[in-house]
Amino acid sequence: MNAPLTEQEQESLTRKTLIGASIARPNARRLVDGAAVYIDDVRLPRLLHVVFVRSTFPAARLRRIDTAAAAKAPGVVAVYTGRDLAETIAPMVATLAHFKGMKAAPQPALAIDRVCWQGEPIVAIVATKVRLAEDAAALVEIDYEEQSAVASLDAALDPSAPVIHPELGDNVCFTREIDTGNVDTTFTTSDVVVERTFRFPRHTGVCLEGRSVIGDYSASDQRLTVYISHQAPHMIQDCYARLLGLTESAVRVICRDVGGSYGIKTHVYGDELATCAISMLLKRPVKFVADRLESFISDIHSRDHRVHMRMGFSADGTLRGVELRDFLAIGPYSVYPRTSVVEGNQIVNIAAQWYGHEAYRATMVNVFTNMCQYSNYRAVGHPVAIGATEGMMDVAARALGLDPIVIRQKNLLRDDAFPCQTPSGMKFEAMSHQECLQRIVRNMDLPALRDEQRTLRQRGIFRGIGVISMIEITNPSAQFYGVGGARISAQDGCTVRMEPSGSIVVLNGAGEQGQGTETVFAQVAAQAIGVHFSQVRVITGDTDMTPYGGGTWASRAAGVGGEATWQAARELRQNLLALAAVVTNRPAQSLDIAESWVIDRRTAEQITPLSELGRIAYFRPDTLGAFQAELCVTRHAVPKDYPFTFTNGAIACHLEVDVETGFIKLLKFWVVEDCGTILNKQLVDEQVRGALVQGIGPTLYEQCLYDEKGHLMNGNMVDYLVPMAFEMPDMEVDHVSTPTRSTELGAKGAGEAGTAGAPAAILNALNDALAPFSTELFDMPFTPEKVLRALGRL
């Protein structure tokens, strides 16, 4: 279902044969052979297992914890409470200096004296087998004094609500306002003003491999090895070292195969930290694997917004003013170390910024609740910012009597308007909104779909079409975390070395969780040096081996880690040519490297293979005179020109609403995406498709449902619905390529755009389908019940 290669892609493939090529992932072989190694597959000598007794109450004092019976149960080696571990683990306080006025309470790894959410770990039970630890867990007696909980966004916004952390004064974690100052006058002078309220549900990541970790403390080496299912190994090294009172060099973090992450595994979790602390105390390896039920009540949740949005237009459809008010409910703590406010912060930064306008005001109120912990999940903030903005553009189109495509063509930033700074202060380098919109209209044959829609409506079949434009923050610089004091690397380092046989090893600080990161690093290195792809082996996910890096989040691995790879490999190539000049007694500038051979740049004559250079450099350096070969190069890359490298794209959804049952059937999606230079077309396409389906989830199915007391009511896979194969449509993916000039490679991120844009596309398609009934919906997820209520049939 892939769209044919564009001229630009063809040209890129011809010019740089490996960059952009849809090479299959070599590391997928072990995944299909059943040979992947996730944390639960790591088996170490004398391994112990830990399980956690978790709070059954959303808010309570812990009057008494009796672990005596559990400690005596078969197989139990040790039992720890929060107080027992308080001297080993420092509390986590997640605030960042650039979020001015942000408040957060210190969070203990295991609860001490009180619990703040249902699912908070209280007691750790260590045993020789998981099931024996689970048996013992049932013997722990906890005397709770239940307190009233703040169990929803509305409850938290109520000034009479109990204050979760009295020392903070109230339940407001963070507020922010951006105001260009001319908003009120712009609205009073606008011809048409539209206003709606949107609801984006609380949901979670549901990684198929639960969070998992092994802490393996060696008393002999005085080192902690952490095997962890995670996206940011160096961040874990830094955080664990500081929180556990170890030196950085005493902590080694190894991330092997990761069974789904999506941002869920970019955080520090108390139970994982406690597992490592217990390994230090017991001087034995200890494993923790979150089971499905505890994943739902301890993995971070995300979204949970109510957004009011207002837009003012001239009579001709020109957007003039935008106002957004965002209210969102986090958990009781700010999640360490990235905080729980980035989501809302992104929304006020980016909402509507891809449309020209003269006045912008956005406010955001981020409140604590006694629901599960909350932080960054794939496409942080974007589904909300894009969902509300694009929903409003269609509302405005209906109010103005304009076609949804026309109102976008009129207001989208023009492709020649870059670089520019937006009313919210975002700096955009280069985008292709107009071209993407034009391309998607053509790819989907919109006029034919509209004809079909009209015909089918007469037969009682109600289809809808939604087309949206969007942006996505990728390749973040130090502006994302570093400036606020978080020790999360914005740069990636890469070492590229040639081995004696001429094979290449790449070590990179950014890693792989299935996106294909290692494959694109191999493509980039092979292209830069002039060797065959199969000659390159990539190693990631080990802080003892790779240069320092940020890891894989915020769509940064290909753009930043890829650029570091390119720079290191290019340098190695120069070093190889210098060596070849000595070995062949020819000028370096007359030489080139292709297909693992040193060739004559002019005639392409093969002169000597790289394996011969390797042999001489490593085993006969005595023949090189004073020349010293350097066949191992490290380079670093970090975005500098812009705080973020924004991508853009357009997404279209075609769906059908069964007005009798309220069910929505997704018929097809189209995507036109601009992630700059495409490093591997198939991998980009599959990132787009996978992300799109993750965006479909919370738009139609997924929601963490809490009762009024703060209990999660659907924390299992039966009741928490996710997209499954049968309901999902095919998705046609196409590309426009506007490389970033911030790097030589020109690659922008591609991992989150689908998640960012799918909700808006569905929202608009649904309201388009419902248009004949003069009703509309803005409250996700769009369940059959809500559809029937909107139709007045329930």
Partner 1 sequence: MNSTTIRFLLNGEQVEAQADPRIHAIDFLREQFELSSPRVGCEHGVCGACTIRVDGQIIRGCLMLSMQLDGSKVDTIEGLTAAGEIADLQEAFVARNAVQCGFCTSGMLLTGQDFLTGARSISREAIREHLSGNYCRCTGYEAIVDAIESVAVRRGIQVTREAS
Site for partner 1, rule CB under 8 A: 1, 24-25, 28-38, 40-41, 43, 131, 205-209, 257-262, 289, 291-292, 513-516, 667, 682-683, 686, 689-694, 716-718, 722-728, 730-731, 754
Quick one: 162 or 729, whose CB is closer to partner 1?
729
Quick one: 754 or 759, whose CB is closer to partner 1?
754
10 Å CB burial of residue 611 (0-12, 13-18, 19+) is: middle
- How far apart are CB 37 and partner 1 at their closest, in Å? 7
DSSP for 371-399 reads SS-B---SSTTHHHHHHHHHHHHHHHHHH
Please enumerate in sequence order all residues whose Cβ is within 8 A of that of 270, keeping only pairs 6 or more positions apart, or say none. Answer: 92, 107, 108, 109, 110, 120, 121
How far apart are the C-alpha atoms of 272 and 229, rounded to whole Å? Answer: 10
Quick one: 190 or 680, whose CB is closer to partner 1?
680
Quick one: 581 or 717, whose CB is closer to partner 1?
717
What letter does residue 706 receive in the DSSP assignment? B
- How far apart are CB 690 and partner 1 at their closest, in Å? 5
Amino acid at 532: H
Quick one: 533 or 548, whose CB is closer to partner 1?
533
The closest of 615, 624, 761, 774 to 695, measured between CA atoms, is 761
Radius of gyration of the chain (CA): 27
Quick one: 47 or 505, whose CB is closer to partner 1?
47
- How far apart are CB 691 and partner 1 at their closest, in Å? 8
Quick one: 30 or 100, whose CB is closer to partner 1?
30
CA angle 28, 29, 34 (to 5 degrees): 100
DSSP for 569-622 reads HHHHHHHHHHHHHHHHTS-GGGEEEETTEEEETTT--EEEEHHHHHHHHHH-GG
- How far apart are CB 757 and partner 1 at their closest, in Å? 14
- How far apart are CB 305 and partner 1 at their closest, in Å? 22
Backbone φ and ψ of 561, nearest 5°: -65, -35
Quick one: 292 or 793, whose CB is closer to partner 1?
292
As a whole number of Å, the end-to-end CA separation of the chain is: 39
- How far apart are CB 200 and partner 1 at their closest, in Å? 19
How far apart are the C-alpha atoms of 576 and 592, rounded to whole Å? Answer: 9
10 Å CB burial of residue 511 (0-12, 13-18, 19+) is: buried
- How far apart are CB 199 and partner 1 at their closest, in Å? 24
Quick one: 321 or 466, whose CB is closer to partner 1?
466
- How far apart are CB 756 and partner 1 at their closest, in Å? 14
- How far apart are CB 289 and partner 1 at their closest, in Å? 8
Please enumerate in sequence order all residues whose Cβ is within 8 A of that of 142, keeping only pairs 6 or more positions apart, or say none. Answer: 53, 62, 64, 65, 66, 122, 123
CA angle 751, 324, 768 (to 5 degrees): 70
Quick one: 35 or 713, whose CB is closer to partner 1?
35
- How far apart are CB 468 and partner 1 at their closest, in Å? 18
